[in-house]
Amino acid sequence: MTSTHEQSPKTAVVTGASTGIGEATARMLAHRGWTVYAVARRADRLEALAEGTGNIVAVPADITEDDDVARLLATATQGGGIDTLVNIAGGARGVDHIADAKTADWEWMYRVNVLGTMKVTRAFLPMLRAHGEGTILNLTSTAGLAGYEGGAGYNAAKFAERGMTQALRLEEVGNNIRVIEVLPGLVHTEEFSLNRLGDRSAAEKVYAGVEKPLTADDVAEVVVHSVALPHHVNLDEIVIRPVAQAANHKIIRSS
């Protein structure tokens, strides 16, 4: 899926770039000539991603920490600024029903998906307004469209991130900032379900029998396409699922 109207050269911050969808997005943008500030907490993985590319800058940072976000902004400013912010860092912890909800899991999910995304966005808004053709893409989830049993904490965080994204689009349209939301369904990444469930065999069951779940590259392709389109074209909200997943609760699995 390659745009015939790509603008160049462009510069993005991509959060969550140490693995999964964020890493695939950073790599794909860089491959297509963008300068990318790659953000996550694990410096070693970011360094490995940046090594030898010449257009990926590793910026180890925790997006929930104000000092780290300020340092990220300073690094991007010194480098000449950005026109595109891609908020991908996030995740899920636990599948407990509300009756057994673990407050720490809920707090973690709200802090990263909602407050972290808000903090990075708030920091870069003045730069994106000044640019005149800014873009912000928030990677939420189909978990932000409908609740499911065992999903409440993640649903609540992604509904919140989605609500924030909708408000942002309204608030910043007068500043010509394009706000895109990408909502993936089942994506088989290395760490997402492992971090959510705590062990490898439980994580693999999430994808068991699904012939072709989405991959990080599938989602990155959609993200990259949407931010590379001419700035007046806004894909706005994009739901992306594997064909085998007709809805959150309807997944075809071979037995």
Q: Is 139 in the site for ligand NAP (CB under 6 A)?
A: yes
Strand partners, 85: 13, 136
The region of 38-46, 48-56, 170-178, 220-228 touching ligand NAP under the rule CB under 6 A is 38-46
Q: Least separation, in Å, of the C-beta of 143 and ligand NAP?
A: 7
Q: Counting beta carbons within 10 angstroms of the beta carbon of residue 206, is it exposed (0 to 12), middle (13 to 18) or buried (19 or more)?
A: middle
Give the type of residue at 254: S
The region of 1-9, 89-97, 224-232, 246-254 touching ligand NAP under the rule CB under 6 A is 89-97
Do 201 and 243 contact (CB within 8 A), yes or no?
no
For the chain, the first-to-last Cα distance in angstroms comes to 33
Q: Is 116 in the site for ligand NAP (CB under 6 A)?
A: yes
Which residue's C-beta sits nearest to ligand NAP?
20
Do 6 and 32 contact (CB within 8 A), yes or no?
yes
Q: Is 49 in the site for ligand NAP (CB under 6 A)?
A: no
The most distant pair of C-alpha atoms in the chain lies apart, rounded to whole Å, by 55
In the window 183-222, what residues touch ligand NAP (CB under 6 A)? Answer: 184, 186-187, 189, 191-192, 195, 216
Strand partners, 14: 38, 86
Q: Is 144 in the site for ligand NAP (CB under 6 A)?
A: no
CA angle 59, 65, 69 (to 5 degrees): 45
Joined tokens for residue 204? 């693999």
The region of 93-101, 124-132, 182-190, 231-239 touching ligand NAP under the rule CB under 6 A is 182-190
Give the type of residue at 108: W
Question: Is residue 154 flagged as an active site residue?
Answer: yes
Q: Is 20 in the site for ligand NAP (CB under 6 A)?
A: yes
Identify the residue whose tokens are 């609500």: 163
Indicate the helix (H) or strand (E) that contains 89: none
Q: Is 122 in the site for ligand NAP (CB under 6 A)?
A: no
In the window 222-251, what residues touch ligand NAP (CB under 6 A)? Answer: none
The only residue of 12, 76, 89, 244 in contact with ligand NAP, by rule CB under 6 A: 89
Q: Which residues bind ligand NAP (CB under 6 A)?
A: 15-22, 40-42, 62-64, 88-91, 112, 116, 139, 141, 184, 186-187, 189, 191-192, 195, 216
Active-site amino acid positions = 154
